[in-house]
Every structure is written in structure tokens, then in C-alpha cells.
Amino acid sequence: MGERGLIHPEPLLVSGAGEKSLRIILRSEQEGLWFFPKGGTSLWDVAASDALLRATGGKLTDKYGNEMDYSKSRTEAENVDGVVACYDQTLHAECIRIFLEGTWQDED
């Protein structure tokens, strides 16, 4: 996506779900995407971010494009299917499409 000019070609490493989401909402350093297609966050890590992104025209889902299910219990709160958050719904849809096609280049 960086090669196509959709996102910056060099990832910005930021720790913490809250800070990542805030950077997306504020477009800090032109940050626009948080692509984390694996477990490691919980529903409480992303609930406020999800609400703020929705209010500002963005979108937050799992790696398959599914909305987060906040009705789960504490013991089921891990986001096993990861997080994809973006300030722009069109860019979000493109990220999901590329991931589902299997053409996403991940260096992990």
C-alpha cells in the first residue's frame, strides 16, 4: 500500500492501543492506519477508540472487516482476529480487501 501511495511506506512504531488510535484520529504525523492482524489486544483496549473513530468518520474492525462484539464476557475479550483501524472508511475497506486476497506484505 505504501508503494501505491495509500499509506506512508515506512511504518511508525508506536506502543499502546490508545496512542495508536489517538494518532489516527488526530492524523498525528499523517498517521492513518493501524493494521494489527493478530491477537494481542482486548476489547477494552479498543472500545473507546472504536467510538471516537466512528464519530470522526473512521472505522475499526477485526482483520476480516467484522465489527467488534462488545457483548462478550471478560474471559472472551481478547481480539483474537486482530485490529484494523483507519481514519478513512475507503482506505479501511482497501486494507481489508488486500489482506483477504493474501497480498498484504508483513515483515513479522
Annotated binding site for Mg(2+): 45
Q: Does residue 82 come out as left (phi exceeding 0), alpha (psi in the -120 to 50 range) or beta?
A: left
Cβ–Cβ < 8 Å for 46, 83: yes
Residue ranges at the known binding site: 45
Q: What is the 3-state secondary structure (H, E, C) of 58-77?
A: CEEECCCCCCCCCCCCHHHC
